[in-house]
Amino acid sequence: MNISYHGHSVVKIQTNTHTILIDPFINGNGQTDLKASEVAADIILLTHGHNDHVGDTVEIAKRSNALVIAPFELAEFIESQDVKVHAMGIGGSREFEFGTVKFTQAFHSSSYTKEDGQSVYTGMPAGILLTVEGETIYHAGDTSLFGDMKLIGDRNNIKVAFLPIGDNFTMGPEDAAYAVELLKPEIVVPIHYNTFPPIKQDPNNFKELVKSADVQVLNAGDSVQLSRD
């Protein structure tokens, strides 16, 4: 399995059988190395409906015939654009042929702004627990720090956690470092920073704050270095 980061909150998981994209915001993302017209996926997972997370989902899904898995209202919105979806709720899990998906709570907002300026409510935001090939990956989406991260950490053996550090809209470095203590991942990758001026951060400051996990600061296109037992 290869787990790679592609700027902002974009993550790609390549298993032996499937290509999985999380929050494929590509066009308009100055931090990414991907091209929306070229990237393909079998599965697209979405944390919430903001444009910088839904991104190029519809284009990629239609071209690749990908299944989009998202919180219920967001899934309905995506489905209305002739894309095949599987809707889920916060706290629910489901086993698919590629692995198991569970949506966790996240404290943020969730709406999609259409080209005409109309905002579409897209339900509750979420984090994602993805278990594939025996490893659990946690993508927190956009969220503040919250106490139930301890429950997530206690009940899941998290190999890799992707945590926002940009502040302003999400956790900043200090809160994200505290989240690491609650979640107890083996590896943590900072995301959702430096894409726009309000979320400018030096990820190495976050790295210095974390004492209990291997912090890997990745450039777009870099892969997580998994430890070998």
User: How many CB atoms within 10 Å of residue 227?
Assistant: 8
Per-residue DSSP letter, 198: G
| CB-side neighbour CA atoms (13 Å) of 200 | 3
Output the pTM of the full model: 0.97
What average pLDDT does the structure give for the chain?
97
| For residue 5, pLDDT beyond 90 | yes
**Domain extent listing, the chain:** 2-215
pLDDT tens digits, 58-107? 999 999 999 999 999 999 999 999 999 999 999 999 999 999 999 999 99
Would you place residue 227 in the very low, low, confident or very high pLDDT band (cuts 50, 70, 90)? confident
pLDDT tens digits, 134-189? 999 999 999 999 999 999 999 999 999 999 999 999 999 999 999 999 999 999 99
- Residue 123 burial by Cβ neighbours in a 10 Å radius (0-12, 13-18, 19+): buried
What is the rounded distance in angstroms from the CA atom of residue 12 to the CA atom of residue 26?
12
What is the rounded distance in angstroms from the CA atom of residue 185 to the CA atom of residue 201?
22
Rounded-to-10 torsion of CA 156, 185, 125, 51: -140
DSSP string, 83-143: --EEEE-TT-EEEETTEEEEEEE--S--EEE-TTS-EEE----EEEEEEETTEEEEE--S-
pLDDT tens digits, 14-29? 999 999 999 999 999 9
Kindly state the average pLDDT of the residues 112-136.
96
Q: What is the pLDDT of residue 228?
A: 60
Q: What is the pLDDT of residue 229?
A: 53
What is the rounded distance in angstroms from the CA atom of residue 45 to the CA atom of residue 43?
7
CATH class of 2-215: alpha beta
Long-range contacts of 143-151 (CB under 8 A, 24+ apart): 143/106, 143/107, 143/108, 143/170, 143/171, 144/107, 144/108, 144/170, 144/171, 144/175, 145/171, 145/175, 145/176, 145/178, 145/179, 146/105, 146/107, 147/182, 148/105, 149/179, 149/182, 149/183, 150/182, 150/183
Q: What is the pLDDT of residue 183?
A: 98
